Amino acid sequence: MGPAIPVLAVVGVGLIGGSYAAALRRAGHVGRVLGVGRNAQSLARAYELGLIDDTATAVEAAAQADVIMLAAPVGAMAKVLAEMRPHLKPGIVITDAGSTKAEVVQAARAALGDRIDCFVPGHPIAGGERVGPDAADADLYAGRNVILTPLPENAPRDVALVRASWEACGAHVREMDVQAHDRVLGSISHMPHFLAAVYVAQVARSGDAAERLALAGSGFRDFTRIAAGSTEMWRDIFLSNREAMLTELAALRAVLDSAEQALERRDGAAMEALLEEAAVCRRGWKLGNTK
């Protein structure tokens, strides 16, 4: 028997797409891998690293691939899907790794029309601050959660194919409703990046930024690591999940206000209660927990 995915096309062979290809190749789950992207140098590097076997245009990928992984920024997916639509191979399955789902699904419906059944939306809860093909890691998804948000039009066998691909990467796969996904991920995925970026921008704008950064230690490093991620990708994520982000910011502002009031009043009991609540929650959390 041949590999489960004879020909895989990856649109965006960076950290997310490159790691998906690398993990599937190592597992023997994929045959030939095509790389699609705007940056010829990145694609050449992906080939050098063995992440892909050849490069292709979006049209060529649509005509040749059995599975297409869209690992491009959320804002770029509509254009890519529209370009692929007239050339899609019969039986093809398209999935994505976008961090928001409602807007991606809406764009996919508009671009694919009556071929929407081939699109199985997904989101791996994994990443890092490094970008490009050199950031690809076959172990990135091992033990991590991947969310699928299947559409009513999806055939069960296509959802199973996408699920099996992520399981071959070592991930735990679960399914969620599109709206529930965006609400929950807005809180535990998008907000940390937003807050880290806003905080670093505040430090960068201070009059003594150089001195602050020179003295920064592990606390600063750990809190701000994700602020170094892809600016294009996170811009699209924040704008795509705007409503959920605004809701979470309002909830955060209420807690921040109460903490600020405790400081103003020198209310040690209130401050300790908030810190204890946070500490208990954080100590009980484990990365990749699927319960």
List the domains of the chain with CATH numbers. Answer: 5-176 (3.40.50.720), 180-283 (1.10.3660.10)
Contact in structure between 45 and 54 (CB atoms under 8 Å)? no
Token duo for residue 9: 């096309």
Token duo for residue 273: 């209660």
Contact in structure between 164 and 51 (CB atoms under 8 Å)? no
- Residue type for position 35: G
Cα 205 to Cα 45, 200, 208, 229, 289: the distances in Å are: 35, 9, 8, 19, 37
CA neighbours closer than 13 Å in the CB half-sphere of residue 214:
4
Kindly indicate the confidence band of residue 173, based on its pLDDT and cuts at 50, 70 and 90. very high
Is residue 291 over pLDDT 50? Answer: no
Q: Could you tell me which residues are beta bridge partners of residue 9? A: 34, 68
Mean per-residue pLDDT, 114-119 = 96
The pLDDT assigned to 154 comes to 97
pTM for the structure as a whole: 0.81
CA neighbours closer than 13 Å in the CB half-sphere of residue 279:
6
Count of other CB atoms within 10 angstroms of residue 112: 20
The model's pLDDT over 196-221, given as tens digits with 9 standing for 90+, comes to 999 999 999 999 999 999 999 999 99
Name the least confident of 70-84, 110-124, 251-265, 276-290: 276-290
Is residue 167 over pLDDT 50? Answer: yes
The radius of gyration computed from the CA coordinates of the chain, to the nearest angstrom, equals: 21
Is residue 54 over pLDDT 90? Answer: yes
Is residue 84 over pLDDT 60? Answer: yes
The pLDDT assigned to 148 comes to 97
Phi, psi for residue 115 in degrees, rounded to 5: -100, 15
Token duo for residue 66: 């059995």
- In Å, how far from its chain's centre is CA 24? 18
The pLDDT assigned to 131 comes to 80
Token duo for residue 133: 């093909």
How would you classify residue 263: left for phi > 0, otherwise alpha for psi between -120 and 50, otherwise beta?
A: alpha
Residue from 171, 133, 118, 104 nearest 17 by CA: 133
Token duo for residue 214: 């020179």
- In Å, how far from its chain's centre is CA 284? 24
Mean per-residue pLDDT, 52-56 = 96
As a whole-number percent, the residues of the chain with pLDDT over 90 amount to 85
Is residue 129 over pLDDT 70? Answer: no
Q: Among all chains, which residue has been given the structure tokens 């030939």?
A: 32
Mean per-residue pLDDT, 94-118 = 94
Mean per-residue pLDDT, 80-93 = 96
